[in-house]
Amino acid sequence: MDALVPILPSAIQSVYNSAMKSALTIAGFDPSGGAGIQADLKIFGALDIYGLSVAAALTAQNSKGVSAVRAVESSFVQRQLTVLLPDMKPDAMKTGMLYSKANVEVVVNMIKKYRLRNIVVDPVLLSSSGKLLAEKGAEKVMRKKLLPLATVITPNIHEASVLAGMVIRTFDDMKRAAVILHDLGTANVVITGGHLEKGAVDIIYNGVFTFLKGRKISGEFHGTGCRFSAVIAARLADGCGVVEAVQQAKTYVRQSMKQTFSTGKGMRLFNV
Ligand code: PXL
């Protein structure tokens, strides 16, 4: 029998020769592989960042939508982090679906305890199919305790409305919400405009506005927001500046939207 020859793509070989950077995702488990932990790990891998992952929630879902959700017990989220972090310190991290108030509290405490940096918060509240991905009141704990620790937050229009406590209908509303969220202590607020009727301009606000123009791509996609924040975390892990990381994330997601496919009966899926 022929000897087994390991086949490594050149990108992977090059990573073995360099100091490996790592990023942590604290997020929800998605059996369809389209969002949450699964999406984040694919993105980290595609960008040559070693992925660490802590499960904060479980979902039952397919390409048509989320059928059920469960929070992982907050004491067990804490256990995952207290075992992992003294051993492996990530160069950046992101949070996705945390679901419970108690899980948000644990993440806040762990960020402080282990002095984590390059923190990207994707304040996941609702799935694109309309299922609640956070319990009632979780948004309040996020606003009060998690957002002030974030290097970058990446709400969509709906999440920004809930967190800023205002209705967003226009581009000017988006800008006002970004200022409100920045005043909570978040260093860089990124509001993605894809859900606004007129277009796909994203806003970055860190005391100064940067606008990232885009054109809407029609279709239903699963995991767009997760990918956007995961690319930002991966680029921050690599030492990239925030505005550049966000610009690269927008370009990355836009490019990969053109390469989505359908295996299920519902939304289109990304490979990476
Ligand atoms: O896109 C938000 C999101 C985040 N995390 C998980 C999800 C979803 C949407 O369905 O399932 C696990």
Instruction: Report percent pLDDT > 90 for the chain.
Output: 78
Q: Whose alpha carbon is nearest atom 4 of ligand 1? A: 36
Q: Is 123 in the pocket of ligand 1 (CB under 6 A)?
A: no
Domain ranges of the chain: 21-270
Ligand 1 centroid–CA 35 distance in Å is 5
Q: Is the pLDDT of residue 251 over 80?
A: yes
pLDDT of amino acid 199: 67
CATH architecture of 21-270: 3-Layer(aba) Sandwich (3.40)
Q: Is the pLDDT of residue 17 over 60?
A: no
Ligand 1 centroid–CA 202 distance in Å is 20
Ligand 1 centroid–CA 71 distance in Å is 13
Mean pLDDT of 234-240: 98
Ligand 1 centroid–CA 2 distance in Å is 44
Q: Is 30 in the pocket of ligand 1 (CB under 6 A)?
A: yes
Q: Is the pLDDT of residue 217 over 90?
A: no
Q: Is 127 in the pocket of ligand 1 (CB under 6 A)?
A: yes
Ligand 1 centroid–CA 253 distance in Å is 16
Q: Is 186 in the pocket of ligand 1 (CB under 6 A)?
A: no
* Predicted TM-score of the model (pTM): 0.93
CA torsion 129-135-136-139 (nearest 10°) is -90
Instruction: Report percent pLDDT > 70 for the chain.
Output: 93
Confidence of residue 240 (pLDDT cuts 50, 70, 90): very high
pLDDT of amino acid 200: 79
Q: Is 196 in the pocket of ligand 1 (CB under 6 A)?
A: no
pLDDT of amino acid 196: 79
pLDDT of amino acid 11: 59
Confidence of residue 16 (pLDDT cuts 50, 70, 90): low
If one compares 217 and 95, the residue with the highest pLDDT of the two is: 95
pLDDT of amino acid 60: 97
